[in-house]
Amino acid sequence: MKNLITFAILLCLTGIARAQHAVSPDMFEKGLRQPGIQLLDVRTAQEFKTGHLNNALQADFTNKEEFAKRTRSLDKNKPVYVYCLVGGRSGAAAKYLAEQGFTDITDLSGGVKAWKSEGKLLTGGQQAPQMSVSMYNEAVAGSKWILVDVGASWCPPCRKMQPVVKQFTEEKKLKMLAVDAGNDIDVMKAVKAEEIPTFILYKDGKEVWRKSGIVELEEFRKAMK
């Protein structure tokens, strides 16, 4: 009996794994040409308004109630293509949908960031001009010390870090350069910022420290010693 239960669990997990898979922007775009595709943007409404893939539906994965309610109207037996900004939320959303019984889920690897990096277009919204790599390099080179903050206002860990960054920069009288992860794609590629938030500390134009995710105040302080 115990072996039978274990087998059933393994079978269920295998089914979930097969139901979801991540693909490149080219493969994702090719898949969208099939009939009957359900395209789901799992970013926030604010992000969606800045530009989205054509014909996408929107359900904020960070709002569990909204996401559950909106996805209940999708057909579990038809393919669902999901994406977010960099792939974290869409991967989690794909897993959730598989657990709810969706049988064919495709996740855009690297999200909108990868899509735009491949020169593919979004529809709707007005994108602010990107920060150029030359502007970034000029700002970094023109300061004795400068902290680069690669993040976004709608990113939960980025928002959590705001008071810590504010305290640190004020305490050290430090310049701070914000890179918008949803817009400044060329700069993100140039500095190889794969996650948000990513913090990079420069001294005399040279990178001396970096860390992604949540950073304690004392870690920032030690980085300048």
97 phi/psi in degrees, rounded to 5:
-65, -40
Helix (H) or strand (E) holding 40: strand 38-41
Q: Let me know how many helices (H) and strands (E) the chain has, helices first.
A: 10, 9
Asked if 49 contacts 125 with a C-beta cutoff of 8 angstroms, the reply is yes
> What is the SS3 assignment for 34?
coil
Distance of alpha carbon 81 from alpha carbon 93, whole angstroms: 11
Asked if 184 contacts 148 with a C-beta cutoff of 8 angstroms, the reply is no
Distance of alpha carbon 225 from alpha carbon 209, whole angstroms: 11
Catalytic residues: 84
Write the single-letter amino acid at 203. Answer: K
Distance of alpha carbon 79 from alpha carbon 181, whole angstroms: 29
